[in-house]
Amino acid sequence: MFEKLELTRMAQSMAAHAGARLGVIAQNVANADTPGYRTQDIPDFASVYDAQGLEMRATRPGHLGGAVAMVDLAPYATGGSESPNGNSVSLEQEMVKSVETRQEHEMALAIYRATSDVIRASLGSRR
């Protein structure tokens, strides 16, 4: 029942994306002292999520661009200044990214909880 709801599917996709990004961030932090390591990241959720047939109404030409499928989450090297050993990891930037990603994950869980509460209320059951 829950998997047929678009909002629930979106929240699950957002949580999965946050988990994948946290994995890449953890890899960056773990390699902060590895000579020649290049910082990696994955595309943000909004750029990779596909609403699969659900189209929003555009209010002006070019307002809503088409979404792409959430399939390519392969890490890519990001820019940044290199240390003398060729490493481009900035622990400060990785911490900021981890906080943003944690907030994304918490939002996904909040959406999922709210959706579950609405469904329970509509079915007349209580927690």
Distance CA 111, CA 62 (A): 28
Q: Is residue 87 within 8 Å of 109, Cβ to Cβ?
A: no
pLDDT-derived band at 50 (thresholds 50, 70, 90) equals: low
Average pLDDT, the chain: 78
Range with the lowest mean pLDDT among 49-58, 59-68, 71-80?
59-68
Q: Is residue 89 within 8 Å of 29, Cβ to Cβ?
A: yes
Range with the lowest mean pLDDT among 36-45, 56-65, 79-88, 95-104?
56-65
Distance CA 83, CA 118 (A): 51
